[in-house]
Structure 1
Amino acid sequence: MNESAHDHAGEPTGLGAGLHAIWQTYHEANEAIQAMPDLGSAYESATGLAVAMRQMADTAALTRARMAARIRDAEGLSLAGLAAKLGMSKARADQLLKAARSG
């Protein structure tokens, strides 16, 4: 996985470029909200931004859980083996697998 690859101009590429674009879009939205003269509208916009970011985080967490399950299946790992591979406790690995099954 090459998440931090950059092109010849130093710009991120691949997944890194996507994450950079998300952060950039977030900062632009945040700055626009901060600059809104109507504080009530700014509050509503901030709430919408928070809800959208939470939904993206939840979806990303489910993707992560599904990737853990795919690793376990592809490599035929036990729960302990998966936990060791991912650098987490067996309890946390089990939580990920349960999330993958229920999501």
Structure 2
Amino acid sequence: MKRSGLIAMIALAALPLVTTGLAVLFAMPDTVPLHIGANGVDRIGSKYEAFEMGFLMTGCCALFAVMYAFMDKLAAMGLVHGTDAHGGRTLLL
């Protein structure tokens, strides 16, 4: 995979963090329910706690993008069990 393709994939991986930031700045109220159980809302917190999930999603997307880009090398090292690089890429998608 070309370096420009990898950079584009990582830039797209940052999209959850960007959309979270826009939602926090313009759409969300100051306090939001963070957990809803059988008895109703269990926990209320700040809207800035939404960034935790944004960072988690961005990190996972960036990791998968790098794995997708280097699947040939991972398959050559034997880290993709029972398949070739194409099968590993299909599994990641």
With CA pairs under 8 Å and 6+ residues apart, which has the higher RCO, 1 or 2?
2
Q: TM-score, normalised by structure 2?
A: 0.35
More helix by share: 1
More strand by share: 2
Q: TM-score, normalised by structure 1?
A: 0.32
